[in-house]
Amino acid sequence: MKKINVLIVDDSAFMRKLISNFLQEDSRIHVVGTARNGIDALTKIKELNPDVVTLDIEMPEMNGIETLRRIMNDAPRPVVMLSSTTKEGAENTLLAIQYGAVDFIQKPSGPISIDLHLIRNEIVTKVLNAGKINVVKLKNPLKIQETFTRRNEEYSKIVLEPNRNYKKIVCMGTSTGGPRALQQVLPDFPKNYPAPIVIVQHMPAGFTKSLADRLNSLCEITVKEAENGEFLNAGTAYIAPGGHHMRIKKIGTSLAVNIDEGESRNGHRPSVDVLFESIGEIKGIQKISVIMTGMGTDGSYGLKKLKESGQVVSIAESQETSIVFGMPKSAIETHLIDKVENLENIAGTILSLT
């Protein structure tokens, strides 16, 4: 089997050595070289033509974001970003995904993480997964215009005219490639969409708030990070907080969010299965489930439980538009998916369901 050739880009010699050691312990990976900054990286990419690049965001001379833009413009290939957990780090990570990065790795303790061994398996797995991705899909431009109509940053604390008189709920699950997919789908919903939308995007703690804020600035509906105990309103999308499961519970005639730090499900917290299972227990309401791009099988078991409850229309993203056709493929193989749609058609399909 052909090895995946990897270039490691980081301004820290210590980090370059550590990441190299981790990757080369796997027989399927060959580290072809390292670079100390973005300028060096662009030169090495021309010389070495790596299959995958790991790219630190915070670097002198040319930072990771500008380097990524140059890579995707001049010599596109799968790029995995390494990021800190600060607010700025999270925002830069989402920007990197928008520009074409396939995935990101959260450094445990800042730019120079001496405890990087804690995520050794994650680094190896994400590089291997990146080596399987069709980079052409990452280069496809998003159709929406970034108008950034900034809203009040305190939107999560202000609820104007709550609308809980809804008869359906939309639940979405996604992983690798998900932020881009959500940025394509959610802006197509009108402000007065008559149902709440609940979303699990596989992300660690510290990143989902920035994702919600970014999506909120692009959408007519409100998009927010879900808060424990809050009631769901129509015309609002709720993203499960990173590192926490999200369940939906019926309280009286309303639906409410329940957030917990229970055991990971198949390595995921938040888990799509957990969300879907909780919605499957709710009676007397139409359900629309959507599974989009992502590695693995999360959501398929939950889909089975959801379908047992009846009144469910299930949608999966097509192979043609999925950055990673893992989660959608697994869902389709359950034979419980009603519609397979290209990404740009998913919102329209949901809106057509009454």
> Catalytic residues, which ones?
175, 202, 298
Query: Which residues, other chains included, contact 81 with Cβ-Cβ below 8 Å and sequence gap of 6+?
Result: 54, 55, 56, 57, 64, 68, 93, 96, 97, 101, 103, 104, 105
CA dist 7 and 33 (Å) reads 5
CA dist 267 and 125 (Å) reads 13
- The answer to whether 143 touches 161, Cβ cutoff 8 Å, is no
Angle of CA points 216, 222, 225, to nearest 5°? 70
Among 15, 2, 40, residue whose Cα is nearest residue 115: 15
CA dist 326 and 322 (Å) reads 9
CA dist 142 and 24 (Å) reads 35
Torsion sign over Cα 201, 205, 207, 213: positive
Q: Output the six-digit token pair for 245.
A: 């499961």
Helix, strand, coil % over all residues of the chain, rounded to 5: 35, 25, 40
